[in-house]
């Protein structure tokens, strides 16, 4: 390349301006070439041992970030799904709980009504039994009173008859009794 | 009092049947039965004799009507009662009068285990029981 540049410098007259300019700036083609070589070596070394690993690392990081983002999205989707599922389960559980509570209330109401009815029936039965016992007691007292009155009446009658009946009365009664007994 | 075994009761009833003459207890037949028992004593003789005596007493009671009365009773009335009972039981019945002032007025006739009554006391008792 330097040869070409030198040749071109020598071949073209208008190129003398450029050479002069190069010369004026102190540019040495050999140095420039060395600079190019050094730069190339440096570039190669940098690319090989710094830029390439860095790029690889960055690619790896980018991949990890993308993977993380993807995982985050999947996780977010799963989270949303789990949230929705949990909400659905919570709603179902709430519905079930409400149903159980309603059934419990209904059962408690029925039980209360049954117990109330049973208590009323027991109370009525007790009242009826008490009335019957009172009626029986009243009848018993009445019967005892009647028997006592009858006993007193009979005893009084016997005493009166024992005093008042004459032998003639007794003879007449005995005659009638004999007639009755002969017909047995 | 221990119950008399059925076997002894049946034997005593057989002895009683042997003691009847035309359905009436005969003294001669009873004497014959006793003589037989004396000569041929069965097992448990005392129980047999007790059962036989009880049956004879009951049979004799069927031929005797005890008439309890309060107040005077005509002998004709007693005879009529005895005749009526004789017809009823199919055997001669003798009536014996016994005073009982507790009757107030009327008659009560006992013959065997039967009782017939027509008295003021009985009617009052029935009245009291009915009340």
Query: What does the block give as tokens for A109?
Result: 């109401």
Number of Cβ atoms within 10 Å of the Cβ of B88: 14
Altogether, the residues listed in chain A come to a count of 184
**pLDDT attached to residue A153:** 86
Q: For A107-119, how does the pLDDT look when each residue is reduced to its tens digit (9 = 90+)?
A: 999 999 999 999 9
Query: What does the block give as tokens for A34?
Result: 């060395």
Q: For B52-99, how does the pLDDT look when each residue is reduced to its tens digit (9 = 90+)?
A: 999 999 888 888 899 999 999 999 999 999 999 989 888 888 899 999
**pLDDT attached to residue B131:** 65
Q: For A66-109, how does the pLDDT look when each residue is reduced to its tens digit (9 = 90+)?
A: 998 988 888 889 999 999 999 999 999 999 999 999 999 999 99
A163 CB near a chain B CB, below 8 Å? no
Hey, are the CB atoms on A181 and B118 less than 8 Å from each other?
Answer: yes
pLDDT at residue A15 above 80?
no
**pLDDT attached to residue B4:** 79
Residue A1 pLDDT level (bands cut at 50, 70, 90): very low
- A101 exposed, middle or buried (CB, 10 Å; 0-12, 13-18, 19+)? exposed
Hey, are the CB atoms on B84 and A154 less than 8 Å from each other?
Answer: no
Size of interface A-B (CB pairs under 8 A): 85
**pLDDT attached to residue A182:** 87
Q: For A2-14, how does the pLDDT look when each residue is reduced to its tens digit (9 = 90+)?
A: 455 455 445 444 5
Altogether, the residues listed in chain B come to a count of 131
- Tell me the mean pLDDT in the region B104-116: 91
B79 CB near a chain A CB, below 8 Å? no
Hey, are the CB atoms on B77 and A158 less than 8 Å from each other?
Answer: no
Task: Please choose, from the candidates B7, B60, B66, the residue with its C-alpha nearest in 3D space to the C-alpha of residue B29.
Answer: B60
- For B29-73, the three-class secondary structure string (H helix, E strand, C coil) is HHHHHHHHHHHCCCCCHHHHHHHHHHHHHHHHHCCEEEEEEECCC
Alpha helices in chain A (DSSP H): 2-11, 15-25, 29-46, 52-164, 167-181
pLDDT at residue A138 above 90?
yes
pTM of the model: 0.50
**pLDDT attached to residue A26:** 82
Q: For A22-60, how does the pLDDT look when each residue is reduced to its tens digit (9 = 90+)?
A: 788 888 888 889 989 999 999 999 999 988 999 999 999
Query: What does the block give as tokens for A78?
Result: 């799963």
Q: Measured between CB atoms, which of A169, A170, A178 is closest to B81?
A: A178
**pLDDT attached to residue B1:** 53
Contact residues on chain A for B123, CB-CB shorter than 8 A? none
**Which residue(s) pair with A144 in the sheet?**
none
**pLDDT attached to residue A12:** 46
Residue A151 pLDDT level (bands cut at 50, 70, 90): confident
| B interface test, pick of A166, A174, A175 with most B CB neighbours within 10 Å | A174
């Amino acid at each position: 390349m330097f040869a070409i540049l030198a040749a071109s410098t020598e071949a073209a007259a208008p190129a003398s301006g450029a050479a002069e300019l190069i010369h004026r700036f102190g540019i040495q083609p050999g140095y420039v070439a060395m600079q190019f070589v050094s730069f190339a070596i440096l570039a190669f070394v940098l690319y090989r041992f710094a830029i390439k690993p860095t790029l690889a690392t960055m690619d790896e990081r980018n991949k990890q970030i993308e993977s993380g983002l993807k995982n985050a999205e999947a996780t977010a989707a799963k989270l949303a799904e789990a949230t929705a599922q949990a909400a659905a389960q919570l709603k179902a559980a709430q519905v079930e709980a409400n149903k159980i509570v309603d059934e419990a209330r209904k059962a408690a109401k029925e039980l209360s009504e049954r117990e109330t009815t049973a208590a009323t029936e027991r109370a009525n039965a007790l009242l009826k039994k008490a009335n019957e016992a009172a009626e029986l007691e009243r009848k018993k007292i009445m019967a005892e009173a009647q028997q006592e009155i009858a006993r007193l009446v009979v005893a009084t009658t016997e005493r009166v008859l024992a005093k008042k009946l004459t032998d003639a009365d007794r003879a007449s009664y005995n005659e009638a009794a004999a007639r009755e007994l002969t017909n047995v | 009092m221990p119950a008399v075994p059925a076997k002894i009761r049946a034997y005593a009833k057989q002895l009683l049947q042997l003691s009847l003459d035309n359905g009436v207890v005969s003294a001669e037949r009873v004497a014959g039965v006793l003589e037989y028992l004396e000569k041929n004593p069965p097992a448990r003789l005392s129980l047999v004799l007790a059962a036989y005596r009880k049956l004879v007493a009951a049979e004799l009671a069927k031929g005797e009507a005890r008439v309890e009365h309060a107040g005077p009773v005509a002998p004709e009335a007693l005879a009529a009662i005895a005749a009526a009972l004789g017809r009823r039981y199919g055997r001669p019945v003798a009536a014996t009068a016994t005073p009982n002032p507790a009757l107030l007025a009327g008659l009560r006739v006992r013959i065997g285990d039967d009782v017939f009554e027509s008295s003021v006391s009985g009617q009052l008792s029935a009245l009291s029981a009915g009340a």
